[in-house]
Every structure is written in structure tokens, then in C-alpha cells.
Amino acid sequence: MSHLIDYKNLVVTLSGKLILNIDSLSIPNHQCTLITGKNGSGKTTLFKVMSGLLKPDSASIHYQGLDMNWKQAKPYIQKDIIYLHQQPYLFDASVTYNIAYGLYRAGESKTAAHNKVMQALDWANLSHLAHRNAKQLSGGEKQRVALTRARILSPRLLLLDEPTASMDTDAKQQTSLLLQRLKEEGITIMISSHETHTVEHIADRHLHIDQGRITSLDHSHSEKVTVLNTSKYNN
Ligand SMILES: Nc1ncnc2c1ncn2[C@@H]1O[C@H](COP(=O)(O)OP(=O)(O)OP(=O)(O)O)[C@@H](O)[C@H]1O
Ligand SMILES: [Mg+2]
């Protein structure tokens, strides 16, 4: 199985407390990895490190044939890995503008951006909300706008932090449908979730994080995902 990216010896301490201590984490290409773990177990912290937003104490990264430390990898991973926040921030502007923003920043012309946004809205069944102010949308609608905004930037890996949290059944179903579509388009996805039943059918593998360590919950999974002696930190 080919891996999109491999992280090794990933250690994060925050305010003197060991948060992550992961020996090895490999993300298989074109697959969906589900990660579960109780509140405060380190899921968001992991996603921030993986996407280049938070500097770890240490990490070795193998990406696109290169072995790099986190700082060297940062420009690559910030471009190719998109982290979708638990509570996505949307601008006080139209849904269309919110989705187009990343394209403008990437230097797309107004016409090209407009065409892409129209297609993306159609893809997400959000065309009816195109001219609404994004701040006034419901939580579920906001999540879908944020998902569309992330997809339009063509990430290689999408990290979704609790994408269905606080959604009703209908919104969960709609989001789950979009996640399924993203996967069919070949985007590698990693989802953190407490509600495993909502995303279980999309996931190819299931990891669990506890006290900064990751274990695989797949019985058939031959790959050993983590193991690191944390004793030097646990005193
Ligand atoms: N800036 C910080 N300084 C100190 N501790 C922090 C900081 N950010 C996070 N933490 C701690 O790191 C731990 C992991 O937090 P994190 O947000 O990654 O957990 P999580 O698994 O995403 O939790 P949740 O399910 O509630 O979203 C928690 O104990 C948290 O209090
Ligand atoms: Mg979190």
C-alpha cells in the first residue's frame, strides 16, 4: 500500500505536558482514516502538526520521496494538507466569496474563480445558498461551506476535525454524502470523530488515540501504528 505521507517520532509538549508521543503514523493514499479518542486526547493537536500549523518538539516526515524535519516539510504540507477546524471560521460575506477566497489568494482570475465556485456549489448541493451571508448559516450549512472551500483548493490530504459534531440527522447525512464523494474523487482523508457510526462506512481504517499514543483498532491491520515508551515524560 502506498503512503501519502509518513510521520515518525512525533513529539509535542504543551505547557510542559506531553500531549503527543507517536512513534510512527503513515497515511495511506486515497484512503479514509478515522481517528477516535476522548476529549483532550490530542486529535486536534495532531491535525495541527500534520498540516503545518503547530510546530512539534520533534518529527521526521517522509513526503514525496524526501526525508525532512517538520520545518523543512512545512511549506509542502501547508500547501497540500488542509485542516478543517472543528468550528470553521467563515467571513462576514457571501457563501460565494467565502469559497472563492482561497482561489483569489492563489492568484486565480475572477472569472476562473467564479466558474470553479459555481461548480463547487453544485457539487455540494449548496447553490441555493450562494448569495446568503455565511455568518447567518446554520452550523451544518457552515460545515458544508467550509468543506467545499477546502475541496476547491485541491488538497492531497484533508484533515477533518469532528465534521459532523452538533449536527442533526439530516445534516449528518448530507455531510456524510460529501465525504463519500471526496473519497471517490481520490482525496486522502483523515477524520476525527466521536460519532463513529456517522463516518464508519467511509473509513478504511480506524485509529485510536489515548494519552498521546496511537493504536490501530483494525484487527486485520498488519501495520503497527505506534509504540513509544513515554516513561521518560511520565513522572
Ligand atoms: N496551547 C496549549 N497549551 C497547553 N495545553 C494545551 C494547548 N492546546 C491544547 N492543550 C492540551 O492538549 C491536550 C490535547 O488537546 P486537543 O485539543 O488536541 O484534544 P482533542 O482530542 O482534540 O479534544 P476534543 O475531543 O475535545 O476536541 C488537552 O489536554 C489540551 O488541554
Ligand atoms: Mg479537538
Q: How would you write 89-142 as a 3-class SS string? A: CCCCCEHHHHHHHHHHHCCCCHHHHHHHHHHHHHHCCCHHHCCCEHHHCCHHHH
Res 184: pLDDT: 92
pLDDT under 50: residue ranges of the chain: 220-235
Give 109 Cα–ligand 2 centroid separation in angstroms. 35
How far is it, in rounded angstroms, from Cα 146 to Cα 86?
Answer: 10
Burial class (CB in 10 A: 0-12, 13-18, 19+), 66: exposed
What atom in ligand 1 is closest to the CA of residue 38?
25
Domain borders along the chain are 3-90+155-216, 91-136
Give 85 Cα–ligand 2 centroid separation in angstroms. 9
Burial class (CB in 10 A: 0-12, 13-18, 19+), 233: middle
Fold for domain 3-90+155-216? Rossmann fold (3.40.50)
Would you say the pTM of this structure is higher than 0.85? yes
Do 161 and 86 form a contact (C-beta atoms < 8 A)? yes
How far is it, in rounded angstroms, from Cα 54 to Cα 211?
Answer: 19
Res 159: pLDDT: 97
Res 117: pLDDT: 96
Provide the residue count of the chain.
235
Which residues, by Cβ under 5 Å, contact ligand 2, an ion? 43-44
Smallest CA separation from ligand 1 atom 1, residue? 14
Q: Which residues line ligand 1 (CB under 6 A)?
A: 14-15, 19, 37, 39-45
What atom in ligand 1 is closest to the CA of residue 209?
21
Smallest CA separation from ligand 1 atom 10, residue? 14
Res 219: pLDDT: 65
Give 162 Cα–ligand 2 centroid separation in angstroms. 7
